[in-house]
């Protein structure tokens, strides 16, 4: 009996440690940073989509500094997010008002997602790279690109929350 309890306890502890990691990240001073660790599967001029794999850190960070405008729960399904996340999956949307306009950070539920925790509240001011949420057991994260920024990544790239630059501000002349 004791070996089984020990194995379950150690296993639970290990899973908890794996999915609740939040390593230090050096936040670059310029550019828009990735909101999540994972593999990029879609890039357009106005949106980037990332699948968060089981081995990735599941902490979600603010891509740009700004003020939390709203937090919305959008109903939907909980299909698996393996190579990409289905468009009809449920998600939590954090809208951030930035100097370049509003951006959305969508924390997407997958088939095995236990919960999504949001660490911010409306009207709260956040710095670029700040921890704003957590997805327990992976899935995906989408972010919109504000006016004046250009994506610099491509599908297949591996990105890291808070430290990988995903878009740069266009110079104005």
Q: Using one digit for the tens of pLDDT, what is the confidence trace for 99-154?
A: 999 999 999 998 887 789 999 999 999 999 999 999 987 689 999 999 999 999 99
Domain tally for the chain? Answer: 1
Whole-number Cα distances in Å, 9 to 6, 21, 113, 124: 5, 18, 21, 37
CATH of the domain at 84: 2.70.70.10
Answer yes or no: is pLDDT of 20 > 60.
no
- 54-12-106-152 Cα dihedral, nearest 10 degrees: -40
Cα(91)–Cα(86) distance, rounded to whole angstroms?
Answer: 11
Among 22, 44, 139, 171, which one carries the catalytic annotation? 139
Has residue 133 been placed in a domain?
A: yes
Cα(166)–Cα(32) distance, rounded to whole angstroms?
Answer: 6
What's this model's pTM, rounded to 2 decimal places? Answer: 0.86
Has residue 173 been placed in a domain?
A: no
Q: Could you list the residue range(s) of the whole structural domain that residue 147 is in? A: 2-168
Between 127 and 57, name the one with better pLDDT.
127
Cα(34)–Cα(55) distance, rounded to whole angstroms?
Answer: 17
Cα(42)–Cα(166) distance, rounded to whole angstroms?
Answer: 12
The answer to whether residue 139 is catalytic is: yes
How is residue 123 written in tokens? 């009207």
What's the pLDDT band for 13 if we cut at 50, 70, 90?
A: very low
User: Largest Cα–Cα distance in the chain?
Assistant: 72
Answer yes or no: is pLDDT of 4 > 90.
no
């Amino acid at each position: 009996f004791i070996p089984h309890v020990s194995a379950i306890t150690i296993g639970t502890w290990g899973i908890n440690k794996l999915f609740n990691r939040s390593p230090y990240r050096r936040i670059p001073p310029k550019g828009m940073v990735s909101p999540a660790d994972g593999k990029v599967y879609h890039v357009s001029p106005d949106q980037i989509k990332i699948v968060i794999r089981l081995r990735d850190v599941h902490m979600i960070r603010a891509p740009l500094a700004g003020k939390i405008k709203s937090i919305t729960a959008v109903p939907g399904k909980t299909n698996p997010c393996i190579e990409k996340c289905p468009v009809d999956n449920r998600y939590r949307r954090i809208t951030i008002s930035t100097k370049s306009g509003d951006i959305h950070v969508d924390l997407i539920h997958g088939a095995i997602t236990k919960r999504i925790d949001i660490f911010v509240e409306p009207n709260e001011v956040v710095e670029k790279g700040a921890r704003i949420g957590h997805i327990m057991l992976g899935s995906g994260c989408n972010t919109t690109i504000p006016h004046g920024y250009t994506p610099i990544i491509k599908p297949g790239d591996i990105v890291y929350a808070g430290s990988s630059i995903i878009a740069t501000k266009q110079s104005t002349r």
